[in-house]
Amino acid sequence: MDNLENLQKELYTPSKPELPQVDPEKKVQEPPLAPPPLYEDTPPSPAIWRKVLLGAGVFLLLAVTVAVYVFFRGFYAFRKDRVELKLQGPTEITAGQTSVWKLAIVNKNETELKDGELIFQFPDFSKPIIASSESSQFKQGTLKQTVPLAELKPGGLFEREFRAVIYGGENFERKAQAVFKFKPSSGSIIFESSATVATNITSLPVALAMEAVSETVSGEKMEIKFNLKNESEAGFPNMRVRLEFPSGFRVEETSEKLYEFNNVWRVDEFLPQESKGLVIKGTVTGLEGENKVFRAFLEGLEGTNWKIYKEISGQVGLITPPLSLYLNTEPEGVTSARAGETLFYKFVWQNNLDAPLANLTLKIKLDSDNFDFSSVEIGSPSGQVKNINFNSSARTATLNRDNFAPFFGIQPLERSELTLRVKIKEKLSSAGGKLPVSATLDSTSKPEGLAVSQISASQSLTLEIKSGE
């Protein structure tokens, strides 16, 4: 074994060639080790800066684009103006009619709406018609109905109708308003949309009329009638008629009680097709040729104020009386007298019409116990007075066609007169008293076309009793 290994070593050991001999003096010298050379600092070239800035700009643009995309994508998903609230109703209506408003809400957003609340405000002084199932939505005294709307899907539609009876006067305007409050599904901000509809009242179906004579004479009693008629199928609450009387008119009797300053007729609840009437009697005084204007106002209560819904007026002209009467002392202008003195009174009358008047009666009243009734004498220039008895208990003397022939009739524009003589008592019943005298002349005839209700004339005169020695 050892012989084999020795043999292999002899066979595979190569001979080493001899290296050439180098002269140490001629040997190539290697350069000494030294640090690398230093390079000078130089700025980047403009081309490099352009590349850097371009890269930064591209990055910024991409960032802004992403941000804008994200923002507008959310904005597009919800926009307030994409929630449409539409309200439709009548532009004109008759008072007492039922108005219908149609409401629609459309969600045109890509997101759902939540926590919605619809508030419908009925017109002032209207009467809402609320279904029993919706009574919880309506709050009495506010004229508001609140409808909850939990959600409204994207592209969703909500519709609703509201009804109410409209009240008011002619040319009154009534407004209905709807307000929708909501939130987008992804937010907590409350948004609001609203719509309003105005309705004009063109007429009030309640007729108010007045009846009275067109002409009368000063001092005559007259009658005025006021008529109310509800011409609709609806009732009208809280109504009244306020009256305005002219100066010189005195209310003496009414068929219905009047309130406040004796000029308010309370109607209160006016039922469908109901009629009401008021008759007023009184006396009017004034100057000949004067027009007396009467007015009536139909009013409705709105809140705490009365509003005029309708008004009418009429006038009564004061004309020359058909029969005029004049009373004075003889001589004229006496204002006082003493005990025991004799007084003379003159009564003059005239027919002012262009037609005769028949059957006249004159009543003269001496309304004081200080007159000596036994001394009364009545005379006429024509001497046609006869058998006139003075009624001491009534203190009156009455002349008619039975004791005074001219009272059978008096011709157009005819004028006549009488005189009365009476003595004042020597012993007066009261010191410092008065001596009132009055006269009334009337006729039972009434020519056709005459505006006055009665042909009559009155006058009065009062003297003072003067104390004397």
Q: What is the mean pLDDT of residues 7-34?
A: 56
Same domain, 291 and 424: no
Q: Are 246 and 329 found together in one domain? A: no
Residues 243 and 111 in one domain: no
Domain-located, residue 107: yes
Mean local confidence (pLDDT), 310-324 = 91
337 and 412 part of one domain: yes
CATH code of the domain covering residue 311: 2.60.40.10
Q: Is residue 374 pLDDT above 60, yes or no?
A: yes
The CA angle 442-282-347, to the nearest 5 degrees, is: 30
Residues 177 and 289 occupy one common structural domain: no
Percent of the chain past pLDDT 90, that is, above it, reads 61
Strands 455-465 and 336-337: parallel
Count CA within 13 A, CB hemisphere, residue 85.
21
163, 178, 203 - which closes a domain: 203
The pLDDT assigned to 315 comes to: 94
At a CB cut-off of 8 Å and minimum separation 6, what does 400 contact? 359, 360, 361, 362, 407
pLDDT at residue 11 tops 60: no
Q: Please indicate, yes or no, whether residues 327 and 312 belong to a single structural domain of this protein.
A: no
Q: Residue type at 230?
A: N
Looking at the structure, tell me whether residues 198 and 275 fall in a common domain. Answer: no
Assigned domain for 38 exists = no
Mean pLDDT of the chain, nearest integer: 86
Amino acid in the structure at residue 319: I
pLDDT for the residue numbered 139? 84
Same structural domain, 360 and 425: yes
The yes-or-no verdict on residue 316 having pLDDT over 50 is yes
Spatial distance between the Cα atoms of 430 and 465, rounded to a whole number of angstroms: 9
User: What is the arithmetic mean of pLDDT over 225-231?
Assistant: 96
- Residue 281 located in a structural domain: yes
374 to each of 287, 341, 370, 445, how far by Cα in Å? 39, 14, 12, 34
Could you list the residue range(s) of the whole structural domain that residue 342 is in? 323-465
Strand partners, 218: none
> In which band, very low, low, confident or very high, does the pLDDT at 124 lie, cut at 50, 70 and 90?
very high
Per the domain annotation, does 32 fall within a domain?
Answer: no
**Residue 382 maps to which CATH number?**
2.60.40.1530
pLDDT at 6 over 80: no
Give yes or no: residues 346 and 452 share one domain: yes
- Span 98-117, average pLDDT: 93
Say if residue 351 is in the same domain as residue 437.
Answer: yes
Tokens of 272: 């469908």
Say whether both 337 and 450 belong to one domain.
yes
Measured between alpha carbons, how far is residue 108 from residues 111, 154, 181 in Å? 9, 6, 16
Mean pLDDT for the stretch of residues 181-196: 90
Cα dist. 396→9, 341, 368, 423, 439 in Å? 195, 20, 11, 15, 9
| 2 part of a folded domain | no
Kindly state the tokens that stand for 380: 């006429």
Cis omega before residue 24 (within 30°)?
A: no
CB neighbourhood size of 128 (10 A): 17
Q: Which of 442, 443, 447 is nearest to 355 (CA)?
A: 447
Number of domains in the chain: 3
Is 223 inside a domain boundary?
yes
Q: Is residue 304 part of a domain?
A: yes
111, two tokens: 């997101």
**How far apart, in whole angstroms, are the C-alpha atoms of residue 116 and residue 109?**
15
Residues in contact with 405: Cβ distance below 8 Å, sequence separation at least 6, in sequence order: 384
Flag the least confident range among 149-163, 298-312, 381-395: 381-395
Residue ending a domain, among 258, 292, 318, is 318
For residue 70, what pLDDT is reported? 46
Contacts of 388 (CB under 8 A, 6+ apart): 378, 397, 398, 399, 403, 404
Domain boundary among 203, 235, 254: 203
pLDDT at 301: 93
Tell me the C-alpha to C-alpha distance, in Å, between residue 454 and each of 222, 270, 292. Answer: 10, 36, 18
Shared domain check, 280 and 291: yes
pLDDT by residue (tens digit) across 388-400? 788 999 999 999 9
Instruction: Please report whether residue 134 resides in a domain.
Output: yes
